[in-house]
Amino acid sequence: MPKLNTNNPEVQSYLIDVAKHYITEYGIDGWRLDVADEVSHDFWRQMRRKIKAVNPDAVLIGENWHNSESFLQGDQFDSIMNYGVTKAFLDFFAREIIDEKGFAEALNAQLMRYTDTTNNMMFNLLDCHDTHRFYSEVGCDARKLMRALLTLVFLPGSINLYYGTEILTEGGYDPDSRRTFDFEKLNNSEIKGIKGEIAYILKLKNQPAIAHGSIRIWSGDGYVTIERKCEEQTLTLKICSKNYTIEGEML
């Protein structure tokens, strides 16, 4: 693969023109930018200015695996792939190397790393094409996967559901995590139930308290408690590695 000098003005202009082209000509919603922390801040500032001038709603998401405060000051990316949250979920649900107290602390640490505005834009994920499948990481335990998805939905930010999760696709290290979609599974009664449960979980994002409410996370009595609260609603998730409850009235 060629190594481009992104400090060269001609290279910068060419790449930004390509990014603009797909937005203006094909109406794509934005860009997920691979290994974005290995390109200069100045380049991303230029790209943001020119992309937002074409479409202010076009989203720019960086694939950054580490602390990304310097990229999330409102002048470069809208969001990043939130691998810090991914690690916390793996440590708690899959590897079981932290307990409920450790999980609550890890989630609070992630929320404190960035501003509220940034947290509400985060691209949260359990897995992707670059990681092991979360379903495989939890020992192909569908109930653990559901509890993890539910917890992820209760956090501020968007949620990324990697293709195949809805049919319990297994997978190890890349490229095994990129297995083809098994369409025959769609006729399986268990998979139909799983798809319905995932659809219900994702729909919770529309609840006012989860969509724009405040958040508090703490541990006690063997549970992690996540409280989302706004003027018209309070929803509280209490979860551990084996079960969960949701308190509050759905609207």
Query: What are the catalytic residues?
Result: 34, 63
DSSP 54-115: H-TT-EEEE---S--GGG-SSSS-SEEB-HHHHHHHIIIIIS--S-HHHHHHHHHHHHHHS-
Q: Which residues of 202-220 are buried (b: 16+ CB within 10 A; e: fewer)?
A: bebeebbbbeebebebebe
- Whole-angstrom distance, CA of residue 235 vs CA of residue 215: 10
- Name the amino acid, one letter, at 136: S
Helix, strand, coil fractions of the chain, as percent rounded to 5? 45, 15, 35
Six-digit token string for 232: 């018209």
DSSP secondary structure letter of residue 173? S
Q: Are 33 and 77 in contact (CB under 8 A)?
A: yes
Q: Which residues of 27-37 are buried (b: 16+ CB within 10 A; e: fewer)?
A: eeebbbbeebb
